């Protein structure tokens, strides 16, 4: 005789049916249904895995960078109308709306991390085991937390109306991010460093000559994946005559 667990497919709302089937040689002898509360097995406290109360990702990195740029100018006493802003690459707004200069960002590359010292070896494509988590409210399930490192190449471009202004801002931003790289590490990144500075370039938009200086940075952080597995798949009871 075998006992199998079956969950109702219609999992709408907070309650479902837990069904037990009694089967003997493929013959259904009896079945029972019990209404139980269904809890999301993925909803658990992640504070034990993270240095902060939120996961570090690309959005978090850009938010920290914007906060760093704003805070540094605030401490330098720069007036609001003179502060340089960090915006997405190729903004649709008129350049004059931002003043005489602006800093743009864009993602140049995202790829699995290369895990040797020279960053030229085999990329880490598969998620690796990180942690097992058991919730006492779900004794029949175990959560497996896996992680994988992901590398990013991010470009910050300093746009200005003059060469001198663009050069000065590029050096300012380069030193600012290098000297404050610890901020990203504190919030969960594994590596952050300056790669290089691109060529001095200019373009013309609406008869306005604009110059820009691209600066490239490297960022690595881990992405986490959560998988759930049942610890009890079936129970088999054998009746034997003595």
Percent pLDDT > 70 in the chain is 64
Do 76 and 172 have their domain in common? yes
pLDDT tens readout for residues 127-143? 665 566 666 666 667 77
Pairing of strands 141-160, 128-133: antiparallel
152 found inside a domain: yes
34 found inside a domain: yes
Q: Tell me if 123 sits within 8 A of 113, measured CB to CB.
A: yes
236 found inside a domain: no
Q: What confidence score (pLDDT) does residue 69 get?
A: 95
CB neighbour list of residue 119: distance below 8 Å, 6 or more residues apart: 151
Do 69 and 32 have their domain in common? no
Do 92 and 199 have their domain in common? yes
135 found inside a domain: yes
234 found inside a domain: no
Do 28 and 129 have their domain in common? no
Count how many domains the chain has: 2
Q: What confidence score (pLDDT) does residue 26 get?
A: 74
Measured between alpha carbons, how far is 124 from 107 in angstroms, rounded to an integer? 20
Q: What is the pTM of this model?
A: 0.68
Q: Of residues 178 and 98, which shows the higher confidence score?
A: 178
85 found inside a domain: yes
Q: What confidence score (pLDDT) does residue 176 get?
A: 96
50 found inside a domain: no
Q: What is the DSSP annotation of 158-202?
A: EEESSHHHHHHHHHHHHHHHHHTHHHHHHTT-SEEEEEEE---EE
Do 87 and 132 have their domain in common? yes
Do 142 and 221 have their domain in common? yes
Do 104 and 72 have their domain in common? yes
Do 28 and 71 have their domain in common? no
Do 206 and 163 have their domain in common? yes
Do 78 and 30 have their domain in common? no
> Which CATH number belongs to the domain containing residue 94 in this structure?
3.30.2000.10
pLDDT tens readout for residues 200-242? 998 887 777 889 999 999 999 988 777 766 666 665 655 555 4
Do 160 and 107 have their domain in common? yes
Confidence of residue 8 (pLDDT cuts 50, 70, 90): very low
The listed range with the strongest mean pLDDT (19-33, 98-112, 118-132) is 98-112
Do 23 and 141 have their domain in common? no
Domain that holds residue 179: 58-228
* Buried/exposed 200-226: b ≥16 CB within 10 Å, e otherwise: eeeeeeeeeebbbbbbbbbbbbbeeee
Q: What element of type H or E holds 60? A: helix 58-75
237 found inside a domain: no
Confidence of residue 1 (pLDDT cuts 50, 70, 90): very low
Q: What is the mean pLDDT of residues 166-192?
A: 93
């Amino acid at each position: 005789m075998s006992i199998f667990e079956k969950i109702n497919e219609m999992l709408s709302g907070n309650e479902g049916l837990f069904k037990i089937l009694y089967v003997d040689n493929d013959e259904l002898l009896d079945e029972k249904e019990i209404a139980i509360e269904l809890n999301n097995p993925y909803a658990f406290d992640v504070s034990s895995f993270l240095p902060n109360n939120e996961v570090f990702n690309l959005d978090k990195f850009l938010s920290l960078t914007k906060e760093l740029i704003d805070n540094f100018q605030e401490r330098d006493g720069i007036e609001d109308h003179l502060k340089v802003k960090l915006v997405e690459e190729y903004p649709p707004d008129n350049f004059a709306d931002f003043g005489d200069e602006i800093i743009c960002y864009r993602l140049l590359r995202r790829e699995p991390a290369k895990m040797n010292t020279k960053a030229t070896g085999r990329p880490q494509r598969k998620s690796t085991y990180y942690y097992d988590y058991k919730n006492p409210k779900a004794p029949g399930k175990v959560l497996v937390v896996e992680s994988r490192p992901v590398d990013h190449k991010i470009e910050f471009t300093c746009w200005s109306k003059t060469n001198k202004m663009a050069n000065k801002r590029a050096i300012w931003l380069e030193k600012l991010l290098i000297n404050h790289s610890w901020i990203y590490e504190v919030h969960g990144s594994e590596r952050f460093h300056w790669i290089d500075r691109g060529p001095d370039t200019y373009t013309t938009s609406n008869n306005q000559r604009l110059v820009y200086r691209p600066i490239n940075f490297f960022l690595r952080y881990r992405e986490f994946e959560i998988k759930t597995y049942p610890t009890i798949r079936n129970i088999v009871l054998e009746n034997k005559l003595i």
